[in-house]
């Protein structure tokens, strides 16, 4: 018998969450009812009170409640409940979580869900589910289900939605995932400009017994890859398309944030890194490129994507960042550099060919790196470079899916 957390603001939506809890129990599961309300007294008795939730996050809730600032209250709960939920999952006390909410409830509950592992059942029934849910879902596999009507009372429509939602979370929890024949996972970053590289390396890694998961380096893709690496599900990292750092540094639209390349260190996962596509910063349509870049090489990748060439000065900083991120990894790590082109369009005769900027990038990496740096006089999408990356990663991983002790 599995236990499912029913998480919600029980002061204003107690009856609704109690209804869902009963539906879950009727399907043979236990329930942990958790109160994250910050208004009046809860309408139903929770197993975990709002004060216990706050205490898990090191927050003294009563003074905050006394100030009667709803925004501060919601913020406090959104800060504390992820700590509690992570503890419950780590202790094996729950196997799934469901919540019902409007704006405040959705913000609190999804904050808790976003810290839970990929694959852990998470269902949010929300009045906001039909809009832009990116800031609620983030990079986690949270199922957002429209409530249709407000989460306010039990009526024929809400009973139908809540009953289906209860059935859905029970079905998710009951579904057994067979991973008995799964191969160790390698996470790889790819862009249109590095497709050949990753495709060739993938064949070699899969032949060696690995499963290669490819992430498109478009900001969200990089964040998702980082989350998977940090989850502990990954045996090795082939991060050969680090272009999101160019957007982060210069101000492009595809940044993955300043934590990009940190997950390998937090999870201590062997990694091969390359400066793939650090020659380009991404913007939208041509007229969205800021005026300050008009003197640079600009390439219209398609009607919706315009690329700006990174400068030598920016490349120096990018090289330092790449090296420092690699240095921070306690697991075996190597940097490979294709000196003739770091993207399809930086090769000789192409739009972004800039030997001075490339030299600045490579020099900064060499000077800052404390890990092994291997330079090959080839283009990034060459078969030679792809195989070198795959072979290096296999070496660092020990060749059998287990991180090397070297």
Residue pair 26/1 in contact (Cβ under 8 Å)? The answer is no
> Residue 403: is its pLDDT beyond 50?
no
Residue 256 tokens, joined? 């993955």
Give the C-alpha separation, 401 to 186, whole Å.
9
Q: What is residue 399's predicted lDDT score, i.e. its pLDDT?
A: 60
Asked if the model's pLDDT at residue 180 lies above 50, the reply is yes
The residue among 190, 237, 225, 205 whose CA lies nearest residue 333 is 237
Residue 56: Cβ within 10 Å count = 18
CA–CA dist 234, 187 (Å, integer): 7
First-residue to last-residue Cα distance in the chain: 43
Confidence band for 130, pLDDT divided at 50, 70 and 90: confident
Helix (H) or strand (E) holding 371: none
Measure the CA–CA gap between 330 and 267, rounded to whole angstroms.
9
The pLDDT score that the predictor gives to residue 98 is: 98
Q: What is residue 378's DSSP assignment?
A: S
User: Are 275 and 322 contacting, i.e. CB atoms less than 8 angstroms apart?
Assistant: yes
For residue 60, pLDDT over 50 is answered with yes
Check: pTM over 0.85? Answer yes or no: no
Task: State percent of the chain over pLDDT 70.
Answer: 98
What secondary structure does DSSP assign to 319-363, as a single string? HHHHHHHHHT-SS-EEEEEETTBSSGGGSTTSTT--HHHHHHHHH
Whether the CB-CB separation of 278 and 243 falls below 8 Å is answered with yes
pLDDT tier at 4 (50, 70, 90 boundaries)? very high
Question: How far is 365 from 359, CA to CA, in rounded Å?
Answer: 10
Tokens of residue 9, six digits: 């603001």
Closest CA to 318 of 244, 222, 376: 244
Mean pLDDT of the chain: 95
Q: What is the model's pLDDT at position 13?
A: 96
How many CB atoms sit inside 10 A of residue 157's CB? 11
Cα separation values, 384 from 97, 376, 389, 390, Å: 48, 9, 9, 10
Whole-angstrom Cα distance, residue 183 to residue 19? 42
Judge whether residue 400 has pLDDT over 50: no
Check pLDDT > 80 for residue 375: yes
User: Which stretches of 175-241 are DSSP H helices?
Assistant: 195-207, 220-230
Question: Side by side, which strands form the sheet with 280-283?
Answer: 280-283, 305-309, 298-302
pLDDT at 139: 85
Scored b (16 or more CB within 10 A) or e, 102-112 reads bebbbbbbbbb
- pLDDT at position 181 is 72
> Secondary structure of the chain: what % helix, strand, coil (to 5)?
45, 20, 35
pLDDT in tens, 292-308: 999 999 999 999 999 99
**How far does Cα 246 stand from its chain's mean position?**
18
pLDDT band per the 50, 70, 90 thresholds, residue 393: very high
pLDDT digits (tens, 9 = 90+) for 111-122: 999 999 889 999
Q: Using one digit for the tens of pLDDT, what is the confidence trace for 225-266?
A: 999 999 888 999 999 999 999 999 999 999 999 999 999 999
Instruction: Name the burial class of residue 340, with classes exposed (0-12), middle (13-18) and buried (19+) by CB atoms within 10 angstroms of its CB.
Output: middle
Residues found in the chain: 406
Question: Which domains are present in the chain?
Answer: 3-174 (3.40.50.12020), 185-397 (3.40.50.12030)
Q: At 143, is the secondary structure helix, strand, or coil?
A: strand
d(CA 49, CA 53): 6
The answer to whether 35 and 53 are in contact (CB under 8 A) is yes
**Distance (Å, whole) CA 41 – CA 49:** 10
Beta-strand relationship, 298-302 and 305-309: antiparallel
How far is residue 55's CA from residue 102's CA, in Å, rounded to a whole number?
Answer: 24
Q: How many alpha carbons fall within 13 Å on the CB side of residue 404?
A: 15
């Amino acid at each position: 018998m599995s236990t499912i957390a029913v998480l919600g603001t029980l002061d204003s939506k107690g009856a609704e969450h109690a209804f869902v809890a009963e539906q879950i129990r009727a399907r043979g599961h236990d329930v942990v009812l958790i109160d994250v309300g910050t208004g009046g007294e809860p309408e139903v008795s929770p197993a975990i009170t709002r004060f216990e939730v706050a205490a898990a996050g090191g927050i003294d809730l009563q003074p905050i409640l006394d100030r009667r600032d709803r925004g501060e209250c919601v913020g406090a709960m959104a800060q504390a409940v992820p700590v509690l939920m992570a503890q419950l999952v780590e202790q094996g006390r729950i196997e799934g979580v469901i919540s019902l909410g409007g704006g405040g409830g959705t913000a609190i509950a999804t904050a808790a869900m976003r810290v839970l592992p990929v694959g852990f059942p998470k269902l949010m029934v929300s009045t906001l589910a039909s809009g832009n849910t990116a800031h609620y879902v983030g990079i986690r596999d949270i199922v957002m289900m429209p409530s249709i009507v407000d989460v306010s009372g039990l009526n024929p429509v809400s009973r139908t939605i809540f009953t289906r939602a209860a059935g859905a979370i029970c079905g998710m929890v009951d579904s057994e995932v067979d991973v008995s024949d799964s191969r160790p996972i390698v996470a790889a970053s790819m862009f249109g400009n590095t497709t050949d590289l990753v495709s060739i390396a993938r064949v070699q890694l899969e032949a060696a017994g690995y499963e290669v998961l490819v992430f498109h380096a478009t900001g969200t893709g990089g964040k998702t890859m980082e989350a998977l690496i940090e989850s502990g599900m990954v045996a090795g990292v082939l991060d050969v398309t680090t272009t999101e750092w160019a957007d982060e540094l210069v101000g492009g639209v595809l940044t993955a944030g300043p934590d990009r390349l940190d997950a390998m260190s937090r999870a201590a996962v062997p990694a091969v890194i390359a400066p793939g596509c650090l020659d380009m910063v991404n913007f939208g349509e041509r007229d969205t490129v800021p005026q300050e870049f008009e003197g640079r090489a600009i390439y219209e990748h398609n009607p919706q994507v315009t690329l700006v060439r990174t400068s030598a000065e920016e490349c120096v900083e990018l090289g330092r960042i790449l090296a420092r991120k690699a240095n921070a990894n306690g697991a075996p790590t190597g940097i490979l550099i294709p000196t003739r082109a770091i993207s399809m369009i930086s090769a000789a005769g192409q739009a972004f060919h800039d030997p001075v900027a490339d030299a600045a990038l490579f020099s900064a990496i060499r000077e800052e790196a404390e890990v092994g740096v291997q330079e090959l006089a080839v283009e990034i999408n060459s078969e030679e470079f792809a195989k070198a990356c795959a072979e290096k990663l296999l070496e660092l991983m020990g060749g059998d899916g287990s991180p090397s002790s070297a």
